[in-house]
Structures are given as structure tokens and as C-alpha cells.
Amino acid sequence: MSAYSLELTGLLQLSRETRKQEAMDLQSPTLSIKSQESSSMDGNKQAEEKQGQETTDDCCDAPSLLQKVLAETVTTYVMVFSGCGSVMVNQSSGGQLGLVGVAATWGLVVMAMIYATSHISGTHMNPAVTLAFATCHGFPWCQVPWYVGAQFLGSIGAAFTLRLVFHDESLIEHMVTRPQNGYLQSFVLEVIITSTLLLVVSGVGTDTLSVGSMAGLVIGATVAMNVFIAGPVSGASMNPIRSLGPAIVANIYKDLYVYMLGPSVGAIIGCLVYNNIRSKKQGEKGHQGKLFVKFKLLKRFSNMLKGIRSR
């Protein structure tokens, strides 16, 4: 009897140990799921804290009005110095650059300045652009005088620098834009090419459905194209400050009003045209598409969690 009782006791003890091990095996997936959920919650919390910190840093790093004004002054100076300088070099070298070289210089310098400082001031470099953006795209009117003043200083500074570099008075005259075949023809051309420029700027610079990373290249190419078209006729100013600064330095004011009014009117027309042809329904569809993608991702994530819990 003692032998049988010992064997029965051993079997009972083995059965208890087996049940205990099975219970531990059943609990281990639940513990692993809980640990995964807790780790994912910690990861999401850390991601939210990091995103909040990055948002705070971005707000703290927003450029001030002084930084914007300095950026506009510098970029306008570089644009006028390079563009007008290419015209003067072309004259002094007997036309070696040609229309292609001058147009390429204007387009490249505009493209370079946009990529360099568009995140600071928007890289207007043009009071017609500033005025059009304030009229049609919600640019603060209180900043318009500061931007225009900065652009004027940059243009005057570049024109004076070119006068110091090129001492020949005949060369200095060539940095001034003047109508070649009458003021009316030049006025119409300035309105058309500036409205074309602002149509492109509004598309790639303000519309979220457009490819913003290509803004500098597209705008620079548009400037070069306009110089090809109107350069030999009106000088292809597209910019009141580009004409005003060199005119003051060279003391040549004839037909200057053409380049004050033409680009300003054309810029507003270009912005108004784009605001009327842009598709609001397309924008709504784009927004709905983004919401649909987010909903699908959330639904897929919830199904994944249900599958983990059911194991």
C-alpha cells in the first residue's frame, strides 16, 4: 500500500506541475501583448512630445520682420546687380553674352535667390509682387511699406555699385529700361509679361496642390522667357524697383511711368486670373483624399490590434 500511495502522490504532484506550466504558458501571450501595448503607448507619447517640441522650436525660429526686411534688401541687391550687370557687360564686350546670356542671367539669379531666402521673406524682390500678394493672397498690408523700402534700398545700392565698377557713362545708360518702339507698346508688353509671371508665382508659390519644391526653377524660367520676348522691346522690367533704382543713379527718368504702372497692373491681373481659374472642387477633393488615406491607415491599425488581442 505504501508503494502505491507514493506512486499516486508522485502522479498528483506531476499533474499539478503540468497544470501550473500550462497556466504560465497561457498567461505569457497576454503579458507579451500588454508589454507591446505599453511600449507602443510609450513610443506614441514620446513621438507626441517630440512633435510638440519641434512645433515650439519652429514657432520660436520664425523669422522676424527685421530678418525679412534684410533678406529682401540683400536679394534685391543681388538680383539688380547681376541682371543689370549682365546688360552692361554685354555692351562692354561687344555683345558676347547676347540676348541668351542676359536672359539666362536674370532667370538664374531669380531662381538662386528664391531657393536661398524664400523660407525667410518669400523672396518678393519686387513691389509689384508684394502689392499683388497683399491684394489677392492675404499678405499683411502692414508689412508692405517695409518690403517696398527694403527693395528700394537694394536696387539703389546695386545701381550705385555698378556705377562705381563701370565708369563709362555710355554703359551706365544701358542698365536703364527704356521703350524702343513707343511707350504704349512697352506698357502693354510689361502688363502681359508681368501678369504671366504672377500667374506662375501664384500657382507654384501659394497653391498647396502645386509642386512647391520646383518654384525657384519654374519662376526663374518664366523670367528668362519674358526677357526673351520683351527684352529687345521694353527691357522686360516686370519690376518697378528694377527700373527705378538704375533710373535714379543714371539720372534718366524718361518714360519711367511705363515701368511703374505696367508691372503693378500686370501683377494684380495675374493674381486675380489665377484665383479665378484655380479649382476649388479639386482642392476639396484633394483634402478628402488625404482624410480617406488617414481613415484607411487607422482602420488597418485597429484591425492589427484586434488580431493581436485574439491570439
Q: Please report whether residue 149 resides in a domain.
A: yes
CB 91 within 8 A of CB 171: yes
Residue 294 in domain: no
Q: Give me the phi and psi of 235, to 5 degrees please.
A: 95, -10
Is 10 inside any structural domain? Answer: no
- 302 domain-assigned: no
Number of domains into which the chain is organized: 1
Give residue 34's pLDDT: 46
Place of cell 509642386: 211
Interhelix angle for 144-165 vs 65-92, to 10°? Answer: 30
The pLDDT tens digits along the chain (311 residues) read: 444 444 445 545 555 565 556 555 545 544 444 455 555 555 555 655 555 555 444 445 788 999 999 999 999 999 999 999 999 999 999 889 999 999 999 999 999 999 999 999 999 999 999 999 999 888 999 999 999 999 999 999 999 999 999 888 888 889 999 999 889 999 999 999 999 999 999 988 777 776 667 889 999 999 999 999 999 999 999 999 999 999 999 999 999 999 999 999 999 999 999 988 886 654 433 443 443 444 444 455 566 656 655 65
Domain membership of residue 59 (yes or no) is no
Give me the domain span that covers residue 88. 67-280
pLDDT of residue 281: 52
Residue 1 lies in a domain: no
CB-side neighbour CA atoms (13 Å) of 284: 3
240 within a domain of the structure (yes/no): yes
In a domain, 123, yes or no: yes
The burial class, CB within 10 Å (0-12 / 13-18 / 19+), for 73 is buried
Res 61: pLDDT: 73
CATH for 118: 1.20.1080.10
